[in-house]
Structure 1
Amino acid sequence: MIGLSCYILADTFFIARGCGAAGLTALNLALPAYSLMHGLGLMVGMGGATRYAIAQAGDRTARQNVFSHALFLAALMSVPFLAAGLAAPRPFAALLGADGAVIGMTVEYLRTLLLFAPAYFLNNLVLAFLRNDGAPRLAMAAMLSGSIANIFLDYLFIFPLGMGMFGAALATGIAPCIGLAVQSLHFLRGKNGFSPRRTLPDVRQALGILSLGASSFVLELSSGVVLLTFNMLLLRISGNVGVAAYGVVANIALVVIALFTGVAQGMQPVLSGCFSRGEHGSAALVYRAAVVTALVLAAAAWLLGSLFAGPVVSLFNREGDRELARLAVSGIRIYFVSFPFAGINIVTAAAMSAVVRPREGFLISILRGLVVMLPMAAGLAALFGTAGVWASVPAAEAVVLLLLPLIFRMGSKAGPDFSPLD
């Protein structure tokens, strides 16, 4: 997940150095489209892989049916993004808030990014299944290979070749293709327990996959919606420089959030396996280990962010814009307070889906991403301006954390007999 988040972080760094603050603003305006695409891919991948893990006690046909339905859903979902990249990148960019000053750069990045939609969806799908098919190291190698290639290609396309925003988007799009090439080794070696097969469509199977992956989708979708909302608020409060500062803060935070998502995804196969065997005590132990891991990572990220906010921001501020630096440094120090709360919330939402309690997972995700976050951002921005926008993230995450015991008690009667509070 660090590797995946570096797709965008590398873009942020190289675009900031090669295209300046205008390029950074254009990138941040385009990122909600990436979050939506990535979220849908995770929904199908995580939901399908959870079904696959639980079905491993059954026959091979059941497992193949799960993968075939997930593959069909991923292909179907990629079509609108591909069509938007081909036919309507400019209206899409305008919808995301791009104006005359940066719309050209935003369109250039969006068009290229969306044309690689099928690769993103297939990459997320196969990665999740690999982790549940005894090949987590290959999945990690695939993600890191794509990330390293993306960083190298970013530099090559933006600087020696002078391809600007198009080069950055092209490097980001090639990365999942390289990841898929590495993942293909699982099939070439004949170690795969899953492969597509001809099967009749089963609406219940498809809905089951989507329901178990819904919390992963909402997690990513909410990131995009929050990004879009914050962009709009900051455009009104501090203009394009505020959006550029948020681009720095959000993309550094993306790496830390990816750590929590990585812990959650690493936990899922183990937790689902324990649960399917009825080992609820072991499942609860796995969950607690994941929470402790997330908290340690959160503390380290907060400490590093607080100590080195200035030097880190300067890496993304080629033009030495003092206002951008002031806003971004303040943003890092306030925004990063959210990490301990976010780590627990993300891991807990994933744990609920992993033990077939998707309603609780969905509720946690939608509360932290939309229901609590958006009014908190609007209210605090009205009261405290830019500082209020930054503060809305830790405030919303803390509120959702306080609501977790209530969510568990509400769902305990309807779902399987498992609770992280056991």
Structure 2
Amino acid sequence: MKETNPSSLFLTFCKYVLFNVTGMVGLSCYILADTLFIARGLGPDGLTALNLAIPVYSFIHGTGLMAGMGGGTRYSIQKAAGNTAAASRTFTTAVIASLALSFLFVLAGAFGDKALTSLLHADRAVFEMTRIYLKVILLFAPAFMLNNVVLCFVRNDRNPNLSMAAMLAGSFSNVILDYVFIFPLGMGIFGAVIATCLAPLISLGILSLHLLSAKSGLRLARPSHMVKSSAGILSLGLSSFIAEAASGIVMITFNFIILSLKGNMGVAAYGIIANLSLVVTSIYTGIAQGSQPLLSKAHGAGRQDSIRRVYLYAITSASVFSVAIYSLLSVLRVPVISLFNHSGNRALAEMAGEGILLYFTAFLFAGINIISAILFSSVEQARLSFSLAMLRGIVLLLPLTLLMSHMFGMTGVWLSFPVTELATCAVALLFVCRHFKKQRSHHKTGG
């Protein structure tokens, strides 16, 4: 199979990654805007409530990505192989599967909001704010999940610029509505969460321009073998779900540990770090999601050299971003923290400052891990992708956090994340080297 011209491939990579990084950074402003405005409008208690509730959003977001990334990967491979009918069935199956799964979250929001708030250890001071945020986020799960699915398919249907525009439109509207609802209208935590929930609806409105376009390849078709097809799609996107769900599990675990060590003020400090972390992670996710259509297309067409080049471009980009971001945060951590510490609480500032210096060293390795997981998902190696996601999200991080917090207190909590990412990075690079070596051997023998 003839390989793509390297310079042309690099320019295409830059285009896809630029659009997706821009869009993902904008998308991450959903939560960052909530954090900033809630911190200023509702103080440390509001920040604590947000941080206790936000892990649930990770599960909603991750489930939508599982259907979207898995379906988008299969769609791109089928289109590259010229199987348009199968690609249409994949799109339809992914939409139906995401809506069916979202109904479970709606039920939890309608009937389980109080029980869930209690499970998250919200005390009397923050219970009601936490419950309100949880309930509304869960009831709007279909909008969040469908938005994730359509974003992924539009990107894989060769329209990354519209995906970016939709993500940015949703995010900017969230920022504006956050301010209006919290300050002039005085709607408190309810205003913040409603602003967040309206954002995916605005994004879907933008994405509908592609769905209604004559150039769109996205068509609804009668799905066949619905259960089997859904399982295949969800398995390819499982690493995306694990990454997001693990983020929620880790936040819950960190909250519990920090509550026992430093109380609500410690959780507020972690809330600042966790939400800054969302923005940084969105850059790596943008690089990974921008690379995915190119990786899947090359895989579907049998172009192994193109897969290796795109992966190299992606991890190089992530490494450059890592060094730049850590350097900037090290220098600017005091003014950054002050944005979320309007009352000038000294204990909050000191805890968050130490946390940033230690916690964010993880991102020197996290980008490689995220991109490697997407590589394996994109070339239908779901088992390897799942293994990396589990390793960095649960298998290593949870026991390390419990052990290191017991041994070193808050310093151990902050360091457990970078130690996990470093160990996972070593495993990821081993998996990648073995995969490419196997592919070269397979190509030479004419297999």
- The question of a shared fold, defined as TM-score above 0.5 by the shorter chain, is answered with yes
Equivalent in the alignment of 2:47: 24
Q: Output the CA distance in 2 between the equivalents of 1:299 and 1:39.
A: 27
Are the equivalent residues in 2 in contact too, given 1:45–1:213 (CA < 8 A)? yes
Are the equivalent residues in 2 in contact too, given 1:84–1:114 (CA < 8 A)? yes
- Show the 5 A alignment for 1:353-372: 353-372=377-396
Are the equivalent residues in 1 in contact too, given 2:71–2:91 (CA < 8 A)? yes
Query: Structure 2 counterpart of 1:23, which letter?
Result: G
Equivalent in the alignment of 1:42: 65
- Show the 5 A alignment for 1:89-104: 89-104=113-128
Q: 2:363 aligns with which of 339, 362, 367?
A: 339
1:296-348 deviations in Å (ceiling 9; x for gaps): 11111101110011111111012211111110011111111011100100011
Structure 1 SS opposite 2:237: helix
Are the equivalent residues in 1 in contact too, given 2:372–2:432 (CA < 8 A)? no
Q: 1:81 aligns with which of 105, 113, 116?
A: 105
Q: Output the CA distance in 2 between the equivalents of 1:84 and 1:397.
A: 32
For residue 409 of structure 1, report the CA deviation from its aligned partner. Answer: 6.8
Give the 4+ runs in structure 1 shifted more than 4 A.
408-419
Equivalent in the alignment of 1:6: 29
Q: Output the CA distance in 2 between the equivalents of 1:221 and 1:389.
A: 19
Are the equivalent residues in 1 in contact too, given 2:338–2:349 (CA < 8 A)? yes
1:417 to 1:365, Cα distance in 2 relative to 1, 3 A: farther
Equivalent in the alignment of 2:336: 312
Q: Does 1:260 align with 2:284?
A: yes
Tell which deviates more after alignment, 320-329 or 151-160. Answer: 320-329
For residue 410 of structure 1, report the CA deviation from its aligned partner. Answer: 7.2
Are the equivalent residues in 1 in contact too, given 2:55–2:248 (CA < 8 A)? yes
Query: Structure 2 counterpart of 1:40, which letter?
Result: T
Query: Identity of paired residues, percent?
Result: 49
Equivalent in the alignment of 1:327: 351
Structure 2 SS opposite 1:295: helix
Give the number of equivalent residue pairs: 419
Task: Using structure 2 for the length normalisation, give the TM-score.
Answer: 0.91
Q: Output the CA distance in 2 between the equivalents of 1:136 and 1:409.
A: 29
Task: Using structure 1 for the length normalisation, give the TM-score.
Answer: 0.96
Equivalent in the alignment of 2:11: none
Equivalent in the alignment of 1:388: 412
1:331 to 1:418, Cα distance in 2 relative to 1, 3 A: farther
Structure 2 SS opposite 1:134: coil
Are the equivalent residues in 1 in contact too, given 2:38–2:46 (CA < 8 A)? yes
- Show the 5 A alignment for 1:271-282: 271-282=295-306
Q: Does 1:215 align with 2:239?
A: yes
Are the equivalent residues in 2 in contact too, given 1:42–1:125 (CA < 8 A)? yes
Equivalent in the alignment of 1:227: 251
Are the equivalent residues in 2 in contact too, given 1:69–1:201 (CA < 8 A)? no
1:267-310 deviations in Å (ceiling 9; x for gaps): 00011111211110111000000001111111111011100111
Tell which deviates more after alignment, 85-94 or 15-24. Answer: 85-94
Equivalent in the alignment of 1:135: 159
Q: 2:129 aligns with which of 98, 105, 110?
A: 105
CA RMSD of aligned residues (A): 1.7
For residue 187 of structure 1, report the CA deviation from its aligned partner. Answer: 2.1
Q: 1:179 aligns with which of 203, 206, 209?
A: 203
Q: 1:379 aligns with which of 378, 403, 424?
A: 403
Are the equivalent residues in 2 in contact too, given 1:360–1:411 (CA < 8 A)? no
Are the equivalent residues in 1 in contact too, given 2:210–2:216 (CA < 8 A)? yes
Q: Output the CA distance in 2 between the equivalents of 1:211 and 1:413.
A: 25
- Gaps of at least 5 residues in structure 2 are 1-23
Q: Output the CA distance in 1 between the equivalents of 2:239 and 2:312.
A: 19
For residue 111 of structure 1, report the CA deviation from its aligned partner. Answer: 1.2
